[in-house]
Amino acid sequence: MPELPEVETTRRGIAPHVEGREVREVIVRQARLRHAVPDDLAERLVGACMGPLGRRAKYLLMPIAGGAVGTLLCHLGMSGSLRMARLGELPRKHDHVDLVLDDGAILRYHDPRRFGFIDWLDGSVEQDRRLAKLGPEPLSPDFDGDHLHARSRRRRLAVKPFLMDNGVVVGVGNIYAAEALFLAGIDPRREAGRISRQRYRRLAEAIREVLGAAIHQGGTTLRDFVGGTGEPGYFAQRLNVYGRDGQPCRRCGAELRLVTLGQRASVYCAACQR
């Protein structure tokens, strides 16, 4: 599943090619995604211009101006991707939606499992029910260890699923939660409410470090994710624990262990994480 670094990598990859461009044509080959593509999408977009691309959690925000005014909201789901193509480049299987731009470039949405979606927002983005209750962005000034400490009090669930709660902080999915907890030396099974403020401050720093490195490396390529330019991410080559159960810890050499937390597989080092 594309997580925050993959979505941010996509945003950075496609932004230079679409911002300020006029939409000349909308081609919908498959409208039945997780939510149906709006019937009037072409009517709203053709002749309009793409504004500065944004991101909130794993949602891509594409402001539209000139003609219809609103925002395209895109979620990549489990297997979706947005990439740039050119006129004459034949669509592949599962290339469901094309936005043809005035310079001949095509913003192409691809999604084999169809768990993602493209939707239209007329009103304020902040008031949309999918975005209104989200926690702070992990790379923003609003997020720090004090925030995690305050939100964790009296919480008895394990710290890893606590981190993956989008109401606490957005975009820290399974891969990056596991990696950040390793860097911070925290056992993913520990109760969230029993971790000290000082350790949460170290954990917040580790989350920033892991996400920043993943974005710099273009995301983590798992199965079929590619960024907006069609290139794979390379952060998987730097993973310390995720997907490495039974292998030696890169730090101490102990065998990494596998547990299930919140119905998700979690790999950790019992020697380094306490």
Please pick, among 3, 6, 137, 179, the residue that the annotation labels catalytic: 3
Which pair of tokens denotes residue 266?
Answer: 């979690």
Q: Which of 2, 5, 63, 161 is catalytic?
A: 2
Are 13 and 81 in contact by the 8 Å Cβ rule? The answer is no
Annotated binding site: 94, 113, 155
* CA-derived radius of gyration, the chain: 20
Of the residues 44, 55, 56, 58, only one is catalytic, namely 58
Does 58 qualify as catalytic in the annotation? yes
Cβ-count burial of 126 within 10 angstroms (0-12 exposed, 13-18 middle, 19+ buried)? exposed
Is 130 a residue of the active site? no
Give yes or no: 2 in active site.
yes
Binding residues for DNA: 94, 113, 155
Element at 268 (helix H, strand E): strand 264-268
- In 19-113, which residue ranges form alpha helices assigned H by DSSP? 41-45
3-state secondary structure of 68: coil
126 part of the active site: no
Give the Cα-Cα-Cα angle 166, 119, 63 (nearest 5 degrees).
90
Cβ–Cβ < 8 Å for 188, 259: yes
Q: Which residues are catalytic?
A: 2-3, 58, 264
